[in-house]
Chain A
Amino acid sequence: MGRERTNGDGRPEGCALVTGAARGIGAATATALAEDGWPIAINYRNDPDSAGELRERIEDAGGRAIAVAADIGDREAIDGMFEAAEDELGPVLVLVNNAGMRQDGLAPQITAEQWSDVLDTNLSAAFHTTRRALRPMLRARHGRIVNVASIVGPRANAGQSNYAASKAGLIGMTRTIAVEVARRGITVNAVAPGLVDTKLTEGVDGLTDSIPARRTGTPEEVAACIRFLASDAASYVTGTVLTVDGGLSA
């Protein structure tokens, strides 16, 4: 059923696309998925040097990777990004919606633009990439979508109402799409990192003292969870949120 083509290992032919993969959790995820044998499309917006270096590291280690510049807030750019990945590496069968941004402020002071920019990048873009990725996944009867959410959303963090809304929305979207496509061998899950050492969390206050693990997490620790959710071992895991926060939400 479907038009599944497989490589020599029995895995459907295709690739993994990671948005916002030039650094941080995205870069660690791209590296981890490459180690699992996935050809990788490294999406970046404005850091070609880091994306290029990551591509070289993956290829030096024996993997395949391309770097694809695209602002995922631009819907036309999303189509171009997928076409670039498909032309070089085959259909996207693993999608990691990692690209995100924050523009913090107390609610009375967040501008309309700061609200919409964060929602557009963190939530709407993830929907549009998911919508696009489901097309080949449905035909292949195989797919893994992992959305990088946050513990902020389900949990409050003052000064991040826009960010919290986007991540809470991303979780709702994850669960709903998961049940729509589960019978096609496609899983849709989210990871919810706590405080992780990345550029995005620079300057974020108010959480460190409360972490039971008494430390922040690393991008590699989050990537390991994404790697699991993208793997065959997680084929019966869908519609769930895997929290990676050192116990903060417990």
Chain B
Amino acid sequence: MTTAVTTENVERVIFEGIEELGAEGEVSRDATFESLDLDSLDLVELAQIVEDEFGVELDGDAVKDVKTAGDVIDLVVARAG
């Protein structure tokens, strides 16, 4: 069963996911993936975490322009409709 998509839930899961991936520095909506030392493979894994938790699929085209944690949060909420 997937978790309900709310901004609060998505932010929590994304932040926890980023920390689990071993991000450097403080995790916040404005933190860039570059500043967090997360690479493209980390983003793939973050997308997997999102799909497992919320059932929202983020394909390659969806994530190619995201730069910050906030971008991902907003994308997931938007995709969930």
Contact = CB atoms under 8 A, between A and B. Distances in A.
B39 to A, nearest CB: 9
B48 A181 contact: no
Contacts of B21: 1
A183 B41 CA distance: 9
A184 interface: yes
B48 A180 contact: no
Interface in B40-78: 41, 44-45, 48
Interface string B8-42: 00000000000011100000000000000000010
B20 A184 contact: no
A138 B44 CA distance: 9
A139 interface: yes
A135 interface: yes
Interface of A: 1-2, 135, 138-139, 180-181, 183-184
Contacts of A181: 41
Nearest to A3: B20
A250 B44 CA distance: 40
Nearest to B45: A138
How many interface residues does chain B have, given as a range? under 10
A183 B42 CA distance: 11
A184 B41 contact: yes
A139 B41 contact: no
A69 B67 CA distance: 42
Contacts of A139: 45, 48
A180 B41 contact: yes
A2 B20 contact: yes
A138 B20 contact: no
15 contacts: A1-B20, A1-B21, A1-B22, A2-B20, A135-B48, A138-B41, A138-B44, A138-B45, A138-B48, A139-B45, A139-B48, A180-B41, A181-B41, A183-B41, A184-B41
B51 to A, nearest CB: 9
Contacts of B20: 1-2
A184 B22 CA distance: 13
A138 B41 CA distance: 9
Nearest to A135: B48
A2 B19 CA distance: 10
Contacts of A184: 41
Given A135-B48, A184-B41, 6 more contacts: A2-B20, A138-B45, A138-B48, A139-B45, A180-B41, A183-B41
Contacts of B48: 135, 138-139
